[in-house]
Structure 1
């Protein structure tokens, strides 16, 4: 069984010098039937290790429920890595950032109004201990000490950018050890946060993407002995809605990699293969302005979103070959791609009239948050009765994150957290009209103090200065689409509506869904949630993994939150459109 140790200068594996040549590959962002392909391509690039976070919020969606199968079958992913001859760096958090919804912290924690996340708050650490017990008990056979591929385990994640409570980190380390983790532990932080996030007796590593020699020298100055390692060597970046698609020159990234390896350091690419924020799983940032992350997590990585090698793959492989053996095999070619030029969505169902059949009403004196409704993702529909006709002013203290407002089913405006919008004026046509507010969770904040990010309508909600005292709340997580009452229609709804169509496939292959003329919403193929689309870009297409399709007839459903195109057509193309680029 492999044993990882450290000496004064580096790592030792079974007593011999060892260097991590690793790449980030998040199993939860890749269709499970594609794990084997991505792992093989990691080995062929010259990597000896893959790194993955563990998303607590998916594995434990409720305190009493734990999921470790299907797309969350981490033991299977580890088996496949081992079969490919790859070691694993495991990063179980509990906080992972990762541009992932809430940084991986489950939303049910926020049902406690005053909970302090990432702290020694007894409620938080008790939940973490329970999570570690449920996760690590079945993972013990996968530790290197027991003959498995997991060589090391990370404690927390970039904690120095959040806090400086060493006792909190010590508790996490003790909790990992108490649950059988007997392989080396490590922390990772940006160089300026290293001391705040370090833990005595635990290997400290650094995260950076440029000025590599400078940052490694700074790490060595703070840690005169032991291995040098870039746990997150940033070779690309993520995108946010309303900006440009971020790319990085392959030659520039390869030069930085050469600096890292020439210094004798170990490296983990962030990312080797980014994958996709399927469904509603993207995170967001909030540095005084809320900015949600897009669906694609392509990250301008060596493997693109569809798992095809890019110029970076070839450039990195050449650099790695200067320092370590690289398999004598050609660079893998791209996967086959599917094209279906035009699919008409012939059946529709308006969301507001269909809501009663999709979920039950919950009465309350004020709007309830998603967390109070035990809801993780999706939408909440709030409704109340308007007592008088004429001009009205709606004021909402906190919109989390985007509220579409309707009177008697007719749209009267939108309030967006991103634009710091809180008030909307409209005209009420009659006494007894129904005010409907459809609120979308666009992604919980994944970085900084903003992770305490509750969703829905928060704080006071006033109509002409008065708080309505009778509301109904309808959670719309849209985990399944089976109860949607589709019907043939020739008109285009003016409000949110589901649209359904069918298309035939002879041989399934990767493809990209293009929604030209559509405004904003979500899409599903054969019930699989592809993610969000938004005409503001930069992303203009959604990746469709080949395993989602089947030979014969396939179904596509689009939830359009505004008015879709009159033609109600979509297309599947062989190439993506991630938008205009920014270096």
Structure 2
């Protein structure tokens, strides 16, 4: 057989240079063509979203906002496209999303806009699917999110006044916006991007502590290049104080009250009306029931809103999950804050291309490690005469501890009555010489310590941050851990050793490689870490973890924090995204406070617990 010549191996040096030159010129032409096409597209955009009459206009044509909220930080990145496609399949044309400051700047001056937090990738995805975007950058977002999205390191300043023009707060906002806004400016409508409107702060009318604050936030956006329509959003009671000149006011509600619409029309005549948050569900609190807002209840309200010619945004279209320690707490009209559950989902009807789920076979715990044996994997402990709250601990490059647990230990020489003076935030397991005694929290603030051996004994308080309040007027009071003295027989305890247990990925990875794990043949002690292996023999699918024989704690899959679980419910399962699993062995670590039956179960459906209708 005749051998064919191998093209390209016998080219002269000049020919090679010529080919390279051709490739380079071609690349430049292609780049310039694409750039020109984008420029033509941008220039062809006559006019963005306007609110100059009773009807929105986009490109000078009447436009109805049919929106839905999906937060990129609550959905695994591998599922962003799936969720947005489902939104578009429902006939919605606009995506709304918050921006969580506390995730993007976990330590002062340390910014993260990568991977799960790649906001620009999320905006590009929305644009590629033909969705417009209303961006809600905060800095405060509420969102049933820890501290309403504000970073906990702000609270290291004992004089901090959040959501005001207090210099310490405005300086931090300016620093964050310097990083954030430059990333979103090019994604505005006028630049060829999907952003048609930007919200100025969030529901400030219900807070309203500083009349100069909203103008400051507005100017912070404008001065950094925001040119699209500005909005504010408030519930009915907040409309009076939540607006700012030059921004369209919008309303939030669940049950339609025509008097509220008339009020909005009265303070803002001849302007389009937008329900910025039509609450399609409600949040759940640990120890309560699961709230359900049925489609039968929603349909007549949504129908009436549209009949009135109003625009609407479903909050949420898809809730997602408060992974890790991100769920907030509720404190309005109740004596003490109540923490929110890990799930943030509302049930939706089945849609096309439904993600397949799998109930994996139960796995058995094969190793355990007591809390006390894990302490050498934590940061260097702090010795302090007085208790120090979580945020002011000298950890994380002096940004304090944000989430998780903090262990306070001191020496006692007598029995007696231990009184928290309501200085525990939020819940403490109390131990004497590593033996569990009781729980102290907002309800139980006093207990009798048991008799024991004479002489010195170690008193340990493992204090959990159950979630900072995300809404209301108590944001400045959300420091966690021990926020004041603890008394024994009416005398303040002193000389503490304090350890941070924020359970970040580095800590969990150090645990996994520890040689201190013990076989389950040896009786475990509590609190403790429990390890198992989930074997996946095919392409990983979504699943839900069930822990019926456990009490309270946190679950980690391959080092990722799935969130809190608590047997008091209502939530009885934890969502495990398929993209967080891989074929073969997957590491499961459970931190459990008090009990276990040694098994982990899996299900194809979530269990949100006993239900109650939203009133």
TM-score by length of 1: 0.92
Question: Residue 369 of structure 2 contacts residue 528 of structure 2 at CA under 8 Å; is this kept in 1?
Answer: yes
> Which residue pairs with 2:611 in the alignment?
581
Question: Residue 465 of structure 2 contacts residue 480 of structure 2 at CA under 8 Å; is this kept in 1?
Answer: yes
Query: Are residues 1:32 and 2:93 paired?
Result: no
**Counterpart of 2:352 in 1: which secondary structure?**
coil
Question: Residue 530 of structure 1 contacts residue 544 of structure 1 at CA under 8 Å; is this kept in 2?
Answer: yes
Report 1:257-406 matches (<5 A). Answer: 257-287=302-332, 288-300=335-347, 302=348, 309-310=349-350, 331-373=351-393, 374-386=400-412, 388-406=413-431
Q: Distance in 1 between matches of 2:452 and 2:471?
A: 41
1:212 CA displacement? 4.9
1:425 CA displacement? 3.5
Q: Distance in 1 between matches of 2:536 and 2:365?
A: 16
1:46 CA displacement? 0.4
> Which residue pairs with 1:437 in the alignment?
461
Question: Residue 485 of structure 2 contacts residue 493 of structure 2 at CA under 8 Å; is this kept in 1?
Answer: no
1:354 CA displacement? 1.8
Q: 1:285 to 1:424 in 2, by over 3 A?
A: farther
> Which residue pairs with 1:493 in the alignment?
524
Report 1:163-562 matches (<5 A). Answer: 163=208, 165-287=210-332, 288-300=335-347, 302=348, 309-310=349-350, 331-373=351-393, 374-386=400-412, 388-417=413-442, 419=443, 421-452=445-476, 453-480=478-505, 481-484=508-511, 485=514, 486-506=517-537, 507-562=539-594
Alignment partner for residue 569 of structure 1, among 599, 609, 612? Answer: 599
Question: Residue 505 of structure 1 contacts residue 553 of structure 1 at CA under 8 Å; is this kept in 2?
Answer: yes
Question: Residue 420 of structure 2 contacts residue 445 of structure 2 at CA under 8 Å; is this kept in 1?
Answer: no
Question: Residue 164 of structure 1 contacts residue 196 of structure 1 at CA under 8 Å; is this kept in 2?
Answer: no
Q: Distance in 1 between matches of 2:141 and 2:546?
A: 31
Q: What per-residue deviation string (whole Å, max 9, x for no partner) do you get for residues 218-271 of structure 1?
A: 321222111100000011111110111100120220111111111111111000
**Counterpart of 2:483 in 1: which secondary structure?**
strand
Q: What per-residue deviation string (whole Å, max 9, x for no partner) do you get for residues 485-518 of structure 1?
A: 3232324434210000002112201110000110
Question: Residue 492 of structure 1 contacts residue 563 of structure 1 at CA under 8 Å; is this kept in 2?
Answer: no
Question: Residue 410 of structure 1 contacts residue 494 of structure 1 at CA under 8 Å; is this kept in 2?
Answer: no
Q: Distance in 2 between matches of 1:16 and 1:390?
A: 77
Consecutive aligned runs of 4 or more in structure 1 exceeding 6 Å deviation: none
> Which residue pairs with 1:327 in the alignment?
none
Q: Distance in 2 between matches of 1:490 and 1:389?
A: 36
Gaps of 5+ in 1: 303-308, 311-330
Q: Distance in 2 between matches of 1:454 and 1:177?
A: 32
Question: Residue 253 of structure 2 contacts residue 277 of structure 2 at CA under 8 Å; is this kept in 1?
Answer: yes
1:389 CA displacement? 4.1
> Which residue pairs with 2:20 in the alignment?
none
Query: Are residues 1:53 and 2:98 paired?
Result: yes
Q: Distance in 2 between matches of 1:392 and 1:222?
A: 58
Paired residues in the alignment total 552
> Which residue pairs with 2:31 in the alignment?
none
Q: 1:82 to 1:404 in 2, by over 3 A?
A: same
**Counterpart of 2:423 in 1: which secondary structure?**
strand
TM-score by length of 2: 0.88
Q: 1:162 to 1:423 in 2, by over 3 A?
A: farther
Q: 1:420 to 1:18 in 2, by over 3 A?
A: farther
Question: Residue 423 of structure 2 contacts residue 484 of structure 2 at CA under 8 Å; is this kept in 1?
Answer: yes
Question: Residue 492 of structure 1 contacts residue 564 of structure 1 at CA under 8 Å; is this kept in 2?
Answer: no
Question: Residue 339 of structure 1 contacts residue 574 of structure 1 at CA under 8 Å; is this kept in 2?
Answer: yes
Q: Distance in 1 between matches of 2:142 and 2:74?
A: 14
1:420 CA displacement? 5.4
Q: 1:390 to 1:248 in 2, by over 3 A?
A: closer
**Counterpart of 1:454 in 2: which secondary structure?**
coil
**Counterpart of 1:299 in 2: which secondary structure?**
coil
Structure with greater strand percent? 1
Q: What per-residue deviation string (whole Å, max 9, x for no partner) do you get for residues 22-50 of structure 1?
A: 00100000001110111111111001111
Q: What per-residue deviation string (whole Å, max 9, x for no partner) do you get for residues 332-378 of structure 1?
A: 14211111231001111001232123332111111111110111111
Gaps of 5+ in 2: 1-41, 394-399
**Counterpart of 2:226 in 1: which secondary structure?**
coil
**Counterpart of 1:10 in 2: which secondary structure?**
coil
Q: Distance in 2 between matches of 1:429 and 1:155?
A: 61
> Which residue pairs with 1:70 in the alignment?
115
Question: Residue 185 of structure 1 contacts residue 202 of structure 1 at CA under 8 Å; is this kept in 2?
Answer: yes
Q: 1:338 to 1:438 in 2, by over 3 A?
A: same
Q: Distance in 2 between matches of 1:277 and 1:564?
A: 24
Q: Distance in 2 between matches of 1:116 and 1:422?
A: 32
Question: Residue 69 of structure 2 contacts residue 95 of structure 2 at CA under 8 Å; is this kept in 1?
Answer: yes
1:465 CA displacement? 2.2
Q: 1:63 to 1:422 in 2, by over 3 A?
A: farther
